[in-house]
Structure formats: C-alpha cells, structure tokens
Amino acid sequence: MGLEEVKMDDNKIIITVSGTDKVGIVANIATILAKYKVNIEDIKQTLMQGHFVMFMLCDIEHSELNFKDLKNALVEEGNKMEVEVWVQKKGIFEKMHTV
C-alpha cells in the first residue's frame, strides 16, 4: 500500500451494528452520520434468525467530528437502541481480518 492509499484510508471507517432486530436501526445510525456530514459509501445488512447485522463503509473526510467523537456518538446511539456498535478505521479493520 502506497502513501497515497494510506492517506485515503485514513478517511474511511467501518461501522458494524449487531443486535435484536427492531424498527429504526438503519435510520437512527444514518441520521447520526448525516448530522455530522459522514458519507455512507456502502452498506450491507442481513437478518439471521431475528438477529440484525449491518456493515457500513463510510467516508469521514468532511465530518464535523473527529473519529473519536463520532465513534462515541454512534456507540451512544447504539446503547439507546440496545444494539452493539463498533467503529473502526478501515485500515485497522483490514489488518485485523487479514490471515
């Protein structure tokens, strides 16, 4: 990975949401992202025996919050909805999932 690719990856985050399915999970997370000007680039979600799982790839280049504060806002929203929310930098996420 070249220096330019690393800089581009600095603006990419992976958000994972997991929990019992209920109305509003996608909408509430997307609302937080829109509020702070975070662009959703890709989203995948599935329902497995009543268990909701969602992955989002987002760009935080124009975010009004730094990574840590955005992560805290998303985790706090997850707590309100009683779902787990994990937020990671894309580069770290990829390193953790490379065998």
Reply yes or no on whether the pLDDT at 4 is more than 90. Answer: no
Question: Burial of 27 by CB count in 10 Å (0-12 exposed, 13-18 middle, 19+ buried)?
Answer: exposed
Q: What is the pLDDT of residue 91?
A: 73
Angle at 57 between CA 52 and CA 61, to 5 degrees: 140
| CB-CB neighbours of 74 under 10 Å | 25
Reply yes or no on whether the pLDDT at 2 is more than 50. Answer: no
pLDDT tens digits for range 7-62: 557 899 999 999 999 999 999 999 999 999 999 999 999 999 889 999 999 999 99
